[in-house]
Structure 1
Amino acid sequence: MSEMGGPYAAVELASFMSVSKGYMGECGLRGGWMELVNMEPAVQANLYKCISAMLCPSVLGQTAVDCVVSVRVGLAVNPMSHVDKVLNRNTVSLHVFFIAI
């Protein structure tokens, strides 16, 4: 948002991602992450305190989050291996499918 300049650069944004309710059939896994942008430090600290006190994903949930994040980061940083190419092709297929519906 900071790249958009103007009034958008100062907007407070909280973004949440969960592997608990995904479209790939991973329902039931408990894990996720959030990103806070331009959040007031006191609000951010209280939010982290509240959320971390009540969340404790299982090892399986943490593994699912790692897989989602690692695939996205891996595709951006490392050259594509055969597995990466298959995952990329499947991701594109899913994107085309969801756009169509």
Structure 2
Amino acid sequence: MINTIQNVSSLSVTRGLGSVATENSSTAPSAAESAKNDQSFAAVLGNMATQAVDTMKGAESMSFAGIKGTATTREVVDSMLQAEQTLQTAIAIRDKVVSAFLEVTKMQM
């Protein structure tokens, strides 16, 4: 599943819309700050997808650490809740993009 999300984040690279830099989620700018830096819409979405993948991978590694006994239950639960919130946000954005696309296709030319 994480590889599928990672493929989505690389779409901007494959279509020549610019490269997506991988950033640490604690130092990554928010979407509003990214938009202020004159980044394209594709770059902002690409950065958000990359951050979502990083969050999912972090939660996955934290769950493995919990199984091994090297992480506390609270750390595992916190990372899982953060991953769940990230996934819900990604789904909401996807739904809005699909809805906007459908509205554009209904327009008469």
TM category, shorter: under 0.3
Identify, as 1 or 2, the structure richer in helix.
2
Q: TM-score, normalised by structure 2?
A: 0.26
Identify, as 1 or 2, the structure richer in strand.
1
Q: TM-score, normalised by structure 1?
A: 0.28
Q: Which has the higher contact order (CA 8 A, sep 6+)?
A: 2
